[in-house]
């Protein structure tokens, strides 16, 4: 849970950068590749991350315009552009509307009561969770996986170091 806006903003900058690195590694073709009929495609998963930025923060009381359903013919570049724009809007809305003092204020979230600081923490964890799912699908799609919290297999190889088994 966040107790200072500044701490959230610092973490948000890194997490946004990492999500954009993952999104920028996607191809248009990979967005629609289906690996299992009952699971999300890479495009649907990436759109879910993007859509949640505005949905969750709006639910918590920030003045955010909630994205609609995933557009047909979504491209990887449009996806990354939309994510970047909305991630910046989240940061700006938090800075403009919330203070360190009210991060302990409670809001109704999905049938539960969360503090605003917890909302921000879960928003970041939500991205990390789904980025992990995306990297598995990226490998299945034959895309290069980008390291987020350390080098990916391909990045170790580029450094001339064998990846840990």
Would you list which residues are annotated within the binding site for a divalent metal cation? Answer: 48, 126, 130
Extract the annotated binding site. 48, 126, 130
Burial of 159 (0-12, 13-18, 19+ CB in 10 A): exposed
Element (H, E) at 153: helix 153-158
- Relative to beta strand 106-109, strand 112-115 is antiparallel
φ and ψ at residue 106, rounded to 5 degrees: -100, 145
CA distance 82 to 157: 32
Q: Is residue 31 within 8 Å of 120, Cβ to Cβ?
A: no
Distances 11 to 6, 26, 33, 58 between C-alpha atoms, Å: 9, 23, 31, 20
């Amino acid at each position: 849970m966040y107790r200072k806006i500044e701490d959230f903003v610092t973490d948000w900058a890194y997490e946004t950068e990492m999500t954009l690195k993952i999104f920028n590694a996607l191809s248009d073709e990979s967005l629609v590749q289906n690996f299992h009929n009952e699971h999300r495609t890479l495009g649907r998963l990436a759109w879910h991350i993007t859509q949640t930025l505005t949905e969750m923060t709006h639910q918590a009381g920030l003045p955010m315009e909630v994205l609609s359903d995933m557009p047909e013919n979504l491209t990887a570049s449009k996806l990354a552009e939309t994510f970047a724009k909305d991630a910046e809007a989240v940061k700006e809305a938090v800075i403009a509307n919330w203070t360190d003092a009210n991060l302990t204020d409670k809001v109704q979230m999905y049938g539960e009561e969360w503090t605003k600081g917890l909302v921000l923490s879960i928003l970041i964890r939500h991205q990390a969770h789904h980025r992990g799912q995306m990297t598995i699908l990226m490998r299945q799609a034959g895309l290069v996986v980008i390291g987020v919290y350390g080098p990916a297999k391909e990045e170790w190889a580029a450094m001339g170091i064998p990846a840990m088994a």
